[in-house]
Chain A
Amino acid sequence: MILHTVNRAPGSHAALQQCIQALSGPAALLLIEDGVYGATPAFTRLFHRLDGTVHCYVLAADLQARGIDALVDGRFQVIDDAAFVQLSLDCDKMVAWY
């Protein structure tokens, strides 16, 4: 399984859209840094093509830093830095989209 990280906001950069287009499961998608804006309901439609084999995560500290931790779409599991480490070890490889 591949871990994909996206650190760019979907409103200002194509990284998330490109990542989603390239994704096929089983995979893990983790939104970090400005990428966490992608976990808000405004961008839900971007994720419609993903099936249940793509697990979506978002980094808690980056949500909190931007004050949007209460706006996370239900598709996402909020994880802390330790869980990020564990996720990166549970996956065989990592692709960083930025």
Chain B
Amino acid sequence: MKIAVLVYGSPTASSAAATAYRYARAAIGLGHQITRVFFYGEGVHGASALAAPPQDEVNWGQRWQQLAQEHEIEMIVCIAAALRRGVLNQQEAQRHGKSAANLAAGFELSGLGQLADAALNSDRLITFGG
């Protein structure tokens, strides 16, 4: 089956990123397809390339990058949620006159239309709240 995943929770203040990641891995292990992961609200912090957690903690952004690369999963970050939290790609950094961009490789800024599309074109949309 085709499954889309919605991550609302912050990677530092909630377990949402961890639970969603475990769910996605388990689904892939059972032969299902994760079509898209949509990061929304505080969840967008997981797409920052500048996060540098201590070595004894998990870097969930990197975990998602690896999983997405291995299984060709689209990782979409809500652009409005990202901009207001300081997660910018090169184009948005230039547009807003910022000195640097920090959107990690493998993530893409886009709009809520991508979430609606994921809900319409997947068999299930699974939400992990913050």
B16 x A94 contact (CB < 8 A): no
Main secondary structure of the interface of B (DSSP, over half): mixed
CB neighbours (8 Å) of A59 from chain B are 19
Main secondary structure of the interface of A (DSSP, over half): helix
Of the candidates B19, B25, B126, which one forms a contact with A88 in the assembled complex, judged by CB atoms under 8 Å apart?
Answer: B126
B27 at the interface (CB under 8 A from A): yes
Q: A61 to B1, alpha carbons, bound, how many Å?
A: 24
A98-B8 contact given A7-B19, A7-B129, CB 8 Å threshold: yes
A85 x B129 contact (CB < 8 A): no
A85 x B27 contact (CB < 8 A): yes
A50 at the interface (CB under 8 A from B): no
B19 x A33 contact (CB < 8 A): yes
B1 x A89 contact (CB < 8 A): yes
Question: What's the interface size class on A, roughly?
Answer: 20 to 34
A96 at the interface (CB under 8 A from B): yes
Residue of B nearest to A84 (CB): B23
B127 x A94 contact (CB < 8 A): yes
Task: Please name 11 pairs of A and B residues whose Cβ atoms are closer than 8 Å in the assembled complex, sorted by A.
Answer: A7-B19, A61-B22, A62-B15, A80-B26, A81-B25, A84-B26, A85-B3, A88-B124, A94-B127, A96-B127, A98-B129
